[in-house]
């Protein structure tokens, strides 16, 4: 058995979790905040059998897309016109996924 931890952009979370649920996966959604852009993310917890792991990963790949975002560097407001205080384009979205082995799972 595996536990998939998928950190996805809020814009993708509803579609990805619905697609996973439609495919028969059990999904728990947690609201989380990223450390780089300090914006909301959603962490999906997906428990699956070993042989179904690849199917879950393919659904995540299909529904979690990357896109460009302008980062305003709000932490540097008032710091003057230094290079690091100018907005910059960064890539957001996609998914960061961890697949963990599960020794035991119980449902009560």
Among 100, 94, 16, smallest CA distance to 50 is for 100
* More confident of the two residues 9 and 53: 53
Q: Are 20 and 44 in contact (CB under 8 A)?
A: yes
Average pLDDT, integer, range 43-67: 93
What pLDDT, on a 0 to 100 scale, did the predictor assign at position 84?
57
- On whether residue 82 sits in a domain, the answer given is no
For residue range 60-71, list pLDDT tens digits in order.
Answer: 999 998 777 666
Query: Residue 23 maps to which CATH number?
Result: 3.30.70.120
| CA gap 38, 23 in Å, rounded | 32
- On whether residue 16 sits in a domain, the answer given is yes
Q: How confident is residue 30, by pLDDT bands cut at 50, 70 and 90?
A: very high
pLDDT at 4 over 80: yes
Into how many domains does the chain fold? 1
* More confident of the two residues 20 and 38: 20
- On whether residue 88 sits in a domain, the answer given is no
In which residue are the tokens 């299909």 written? 62
| CA gap 104, 108 in Å, rounded | 13
* More confident of the two residues 102 and 66: 102
In which residue are the tokens 């996609």 written? 94
Q: Which domain holds residue 44?
A: 2-65+93-101
Q: Are 8 and 29 in contact (CB under 8 A)?
A: no
Size of the chain in residues: 108
């Amino acid at each position: 058995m595996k536990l998939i931890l998928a950190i996805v952009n809020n814009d993708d979370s509803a579609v990805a979790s619905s697609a996973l649920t439609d495919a028969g996966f059990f999904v728990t959604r947690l609201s989380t905040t990223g450390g780089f852009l300090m914006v909301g993310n959603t962490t999906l917890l997906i428990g699956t059998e070993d042989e179904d792991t690849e199917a879950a990963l393919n659904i995540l790949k299909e529904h979690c897309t990357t896109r460009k975002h302008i980062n305003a560097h709000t932490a540097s407001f008032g710091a003057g016109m230094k290079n690091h205080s100018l907005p910059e384009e960064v890539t957001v979205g996609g998914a960061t996924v961890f697949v963990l082995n599960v020794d035991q799972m119980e449902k009560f």
